[in-house]
Structure 1
Amino acid sequence: MSTDLFCEIVAGERPAFVVHADEVAVSFLDSRPLFKGHVLVVPRRHAETLADLPDVGPFFERVQAMAGAVERGMAAAGTFVAMNNRVSQSVPHLHVHVVPRNRKDGLRGFFWPRTRYASDEEARACAAAIAGALAGA
């Protein structure tokens, strides 16, 4: 079995600001978000790339739900949803980025400056807002 940072988060061995978890996927705040509310959705069972994921349907149902929740929870105009396979994949575990977007937010092309949450409390508040929007969907 492969062990990586995301496997450790899924197993509860490493802390993360979890937004939602079920038998298919775990969603948590990116520790270096493009914008606050940037969520990573990872399959619970380890898969390095999209080609390695045996059943994409249930996983992408979670991604779809999270995109709506991020938009509602962060009062965003939309979302940016992206995934890398091997190249530019910082952790060798399939993960989909769900990033809140607003017009003129400064994100252009593929230069994506990262930020940090000011505190754990701020991160918890973002995670709670998104989780609440997911539950209310």
Structure 2
Amino acid sequence: MAGKMAACIFCKIIKGEIPSFKLVETDKTLAFLDINPLSRGHALIIPKFHGAKLADIPDEHLADILPIAKKLVKATGAEEYNILQNNGRGAHQLVDHVHFHVIPKPNEKEGLGISWPQQPTDMDKLKALFEDLKSKV
């Protein structure tokens, strides 16, 4: 894990080894502008705790994320926006350190574009899935 942390671009940003446009910083969290934005005000919020996927991050290191996202949205003045967090390459994660995108959606051409491949519902299968998941949470 230490080797991955040493090579992690977000860990280097946290340590100040790579400059960033810091917007908000707490003891557990850092928010900064994305240098390849999808729209004006596109920012990233990261826990200072290194972990590749959301399930790798202890809960106490996630507590600031949504309040900071709310502050950033208000600061941009965006009326429409996405909060996005990807886990794994198949889900479009490129940096293996948990990060949340705050992406203003000012118009059709800027911001996040989404495909939503909705699946048909089989109520018996949905009920079985519900029972399985409910027993595990």
- The normalised TM-score by structure 2 is 0.70
1-structure distance, mates of 2:13, 2:39: 21
Unaligned runs of 5+ in 2: 116-137
Matched AA of 1:109: I
Instruction: State whether structure 2 residue 51 is matched by structure 1 residue 35.
Output: no
Aligned residues: 107
Confirm whether residue 22 of structure 1 aligns to residue 26 of structure 2: yes
2:65 maps to 63
Percent of counterpart pairs with the same letter?
Answer: 32
CA RMSD of aligned residues (A): 1.7
Q: Please give the alpha-carbon distance, in whole angstroms, between the structure 2 residues aligned to 1:75 and 1:46.
A: 30
Letter in 2 for 1:108: G
Contact 2:73 2:102 in 1 (8 A): no
Residue 67 of structure 1 aligns with an amino acid whose one-letter code is: A
Contact 1:70-1:79 within 8 A present in 2 as well: no
Partner of 2:74: 72
Structure 1 residues 7 and 58: CA distance shift in structure 2, 3 A: closer
Kept in 1: contact 2:72–2:102 (CA 8 A): yes
Amino acid at match of 1:80: N
1:39-85 Cα offsets, whole Å, 9 max, x none, are: 11111011111111121x552x4222233222221111032001111
Letter in 2 for 1:72: K
Which stretches of structure 1, 4 residues or more, deviate above 3 A after TM superposition? none
1:83 aligns with 2:88: no
Maintained 8 Å contact 2:47/2:61: no
2:49 to 45, 50, 55: 45
Task: Give the match's secondary structure for 2:64.
Answer: helix
- Give, in whole Å, the separation in 2 of the partners of 1:36 and 1:86: 26
Larger Rg: 2
